[in-house]
């Protein structure tokens, strides 16, 4: 089966198992989603949601975080890991958003990746989940792992993986395939599963079980 045919089968299987696809991060504004996504690096969404609820209660806007005491900000987000660098990025991104973008989170990939701590993955999450704009495919650790295990890419670099997925996947599915691969990676195809034993896409539906197994070399 060619990869372009395989991706369509994967999309259908994932849609059947995970009909609702949306980010697990909790937010009320594009700015809050941006901050939550920065916090999510090397941290679970569950932990981020706990931290961000308190954080946004104290600092809901760019103006609030731009003037926040850095040490106090670090303590709010300490449990998300890498908190010192994240605090600097959050504060500096808030300042940049105020000074360069009139306190509004940018709507373009080119502008978003100029913000401290924001790469393509974070930008894709914000564009798709906050603005409904598809400019790429967000590649986190789950998407990276499953894309390789499913034989959709030979790369390990997230940007190259994203380009491979964009070439294979219909644009209308770019946001959903990322979200559904993340869901599947969390629930079924976890990192702890040895590659030589991995059933990469094992999705149960009524009266039948579909499996797509990667033939490892």
Q: Do 103 and 63 meet the contact criterion of CB atoms below 8 Å apart?
A: yes
Which residues are bridge partners to 208 per DSSP?
205
121 carries an active-site annotation? yes
CA end-to-end distance (rounded Å), the chain: 17
Q: Is 211 helix (H, G, I), strand (E, B) or coil?
A: strand
Strands (E), the chain: 201-205, 208-212
Helix (H) or strand (E) segment spanning residue 148: helix 141-149
Query: Is 140 one of the annotated active-site residues of the chain?
Result: yes
Nearest by Cα to 121 from 9, 43, 40, 20:
40
Burial class (CB in 10 A: 0-12, 13-18, 19+), 146: buried
- Residue 92 burial (10 A CB sphere; 0-12, 13-18, 19+): middle
Tokens 């964009």 appear where?
166
Quote the CA–CA distance of 73 and 184 in Å, as a whole number.
Answer: 33
Active-site entry in 45, 86, 91, 121: 121
Tokens of 105: 């989170």
Asked if residue 173 lies in contact with residue 184, where contact means CB atoms within 8 angstroms, the answer is no
Please pick, among 45, 140, 164, 176, the residue that the annotation labels catalytic.
140
Active site residues: 121, 140
């Amino acid at each position: 089966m060619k990869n372009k045919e395989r991706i369509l089968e994967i999309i259908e299987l994932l849609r059947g198992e995970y009909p609702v696809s949306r980010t697990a991060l909790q937010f009320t504004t594009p700015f809050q989603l941006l901050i939550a996504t920065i916090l999510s690096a090397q941290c679970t969404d569950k932990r981020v949601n706990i931290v961000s609820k308190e954080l946004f209660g104290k600092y809901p806007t760019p103006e609030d975080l731009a003037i926040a005491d850095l040490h106090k900000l670090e303590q709010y987000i300490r449990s998300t890991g890498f908190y010192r660098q994240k605090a600097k990025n959050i504060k500096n991104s808030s300042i940049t958003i105020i000074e360069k973008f009139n306190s509004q989170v940018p709507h373009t990939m080119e502008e978003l990746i100029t913000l401290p701590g924001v790469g393509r993955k974070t930008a894709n999450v914000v564009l798709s989940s906050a603005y409904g704009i598809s400019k790429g495919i967000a590649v986190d650790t789950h998407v990276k792992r499953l894309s390789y295990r499913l034989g959709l890419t030979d790369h390990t670099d997230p940007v190259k993986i994203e380009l491979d997925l964009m070439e294979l996947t219909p644009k209308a599915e770019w946001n959903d395939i990322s979200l559904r691969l993340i869901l599947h990676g969390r629930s079924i195809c976890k990192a702890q599963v040895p590659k030589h034993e991995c059933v990469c896409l094992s999705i149960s539906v009524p009266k039948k079980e579909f499996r797509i197994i990667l033939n490892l070399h």
